[in-house]
Amino acid sequence: MAEIYVPAIGDKFPELEVNTTHGKMKLPDAFKGKWFVLFSHPADFTPVCTTEFVAFQKRYDKFKELNTELIGLSVDQVFSHIKWIEWIKDKFGVEIQFPIIADDMGIVAETLGMIHPNKGTNTVRAVFIVDDKGIIRAILYYPQEAGRDVDEILRLVKALQTSDKYGVALPHKWPENELIGDHVIIPPASSVEEKKQREEAAKKGEIECFDWWFCHKKI
């Protein structure tokens, strides 16, 4: 199996000039000061991809509320993207408002490691979440056979932004976790003194703890 390069979490998003349904764009500069979610799909005019695009568009306003833009990608040409989104509007009454990269030469997909060596030239269902400083914060990969949960991608963006703002960690399925509900997790104490401070804070009711290393609070 041929090796593929995938940028890592924490890397600067590579500088790329792309052709899109909204014209030429330079990434990540086009979204300077904003977060963005770049997601690839195997091909236009395919059922699973169509369901994903409708889901992304229906939640586009929620992404914008988080200062986050969307941009799609496949190895199709611009005219194919345009015809496909026209078809989506005609059939479902959903107008795709975010840009779609026409990576017909596969340069962007190869740069980001989106081409699976055993799946021809089509892109896998990759998701890159990039913050407002142009840093890659999360990478998700799905096979061609299974569609993505757009609500989970939206949740992940919100979780990352919450972590940045409050210096906390987020539990499984936050803000609807089985153990602590909508609370956030306070990072474990890194010293004996900090451990004592956590225990005192718990006694005062400022935070809640199952143990000194598992403390949580509402924000």
215 is catalytic: no
Question: Would you state the structure tokens that stand for residue 78, as one six-digit string?
Answer: 């611009």
Query: Which tokens sit at 149?
Result: 């949960």
Give the strand pairing for 125-130 and 214-217.
unpaired
Six-digit token string for 212: 């000194």
Alpha helix stretches (DSSP H) within the chain: 47-58, 60-65, 78-92, 107-111, 150-166, 192-203
Token output for 104: 């017909």
Q: How many CB atoms lie within 10 A of CB 104?
A: 14
φ, ψ dihedrals at 205, nearest 5°: 80, 15
- Among residues 49, 124, 170, 185, the one annotated as catalytic is 49
SS3 53: helix
Distance between CA atoms of residues 179 and 201, nearest Å? 20
Could you tell me how far CA 195 lies from the centroid of its own chain? 34
* Closest residue by Cα to residue 159 from 219, 214, 207, 72: 219
Annotated catalytic residues are 49
